[in-house]
Amino acid sequence: MNIVLGAIADDFTGATDLAGTWVKEGVKTVQTVGVPDAGTGIGDAEAVVVALKSRTAPVGEAVDRSLEALQWLREAGARQIVFKYCSTFDSTEKGNIGPVADALADALGAEFALVCPAFPTNGRTIYRGYLHVGDMLLAESPMKDHPLTPMRDSSLVRLMAAQSQGRVGLVPLQVVSAGVEAIRSRISALKADGVRYGVIDAVADADLRVIGEAAADHGLVTGGSGIGMGLPENFRKSGLLSAGSGPALPETAGREVVLAGSCSAATRAQIAAVDDIWPARKLDPDGLAAGPGEVGDAIAWALDQPADAPVLVYASAGPEEVSAVQARYGVERAGRMIESAFERIAAALAENGFSRIVVAGGETAGAVVSALGATALRIGPEIAPGVPWTETVGGRPLALALKSGNFGRETFFADAFGMLP
Shortest CB 96 distance to ligand ADP, Å: 23
Among the listed residues 20, 405, 412, 413, the single contact to ligand ADP using CB under 6 A: 405
How many residues make up the chain in this entry? 421
In the window 122-181, what residues touch ligand ADP (CB under 6 A)?
none
Segment interacting with ligand ADP, rule: CB under 6 A, options 89-97, 222-230, 292-300, 333-341: 333-341
Interface with ligand ADP, residue 404, by CB under 6 A: yes
Contact 7, 47 (CB under 8 A): yes
Closer CB to ligand ADP, 12 or 417, in the complex: 12
Give, for 321, the enclosing helix (H) or strand (E).
helix 319-329
Closer CB to ligand ADP, 168 or 334, in the complex: 334
Count of residues that interact with ligand ADP, criterion CB under 6 A: 22
Among the listed residues 87, 264, 270, 355, the single contact to ligand ADP using CB under 6 A: 264
Assign 29 to helix, strand or coil.
Answer: strand
CA distance 232 to 333: 45
φ, ψ at 240 (rounded to 5°): -90, -10
Among the listed residues 325, 357, 379, 383, the single contact to ligand ADP using CB under 6 A: 325
CA distance 181 to 183: 5
CA distance 306 to 120: 47
Interface with ligand ADP, residue 338, by CB under 6 A: yes
Segment interacting with ligand ADP, rule: CB under 6 A, options 73-81, 300-308, 335-343, 409-417: 335-343
Residue 248 burial (10 A CB sphere; 0-12, 13-18, 19+): middle
- Taking CB positions, which residue lies at the least distance from ligand ADP? 405
Shortest CB 291 distance to ligand ADP, Å: 18
Interface with ligand ADP, residue 52, by CB under 6 A: no
Shortest CB 137 distance to ligand ADP, Å: 29
Shortest CB 323 distance to ligand ADP, Å: 8
Closer CB to ligand ADP, 48 or 338, in the complex: 338
Interface with ligand ADP, residue 322, by CB under 6 A: yes
CA separation, residue 170 to residues 179, 187, 232, 291 (Å): 15, 9, 24, 60
Radius of gyration of the chain (CA): 22
Closer CB to ligand ADP, 164 or 390, in the complex: 390
Report whether the peptide linkage leading into residue 122 is cis, meaning its omega lies within 30 degrees of zero: no
Check the CA dihedral 175-180-183-185 and report its sign: negative
Selection from 224, 262, 200, 212 nearest residue 86 by Cα: 224
Interface with ligand ADP, residue 361, by CB under 6 A: yes
In the window 300-319, what residues touch ligand ADP (CB under 6 A)?
315-317
Selection from 96, 100, 99, 3 nearest residue 46 by Cα: 3
In the window 18-47, what residues touch ligand ADP (CB under 6 A)?
none
Selection from 190, 178, 177 nearest residue 218 by Cα: 190
What does the binding site for ligand ADP look like in residue numbers (CB under 6 A)?
A: 261-264, 285, 315-317, 321-322, 325-326, 334-335, 338-339, 361-364, 404-405
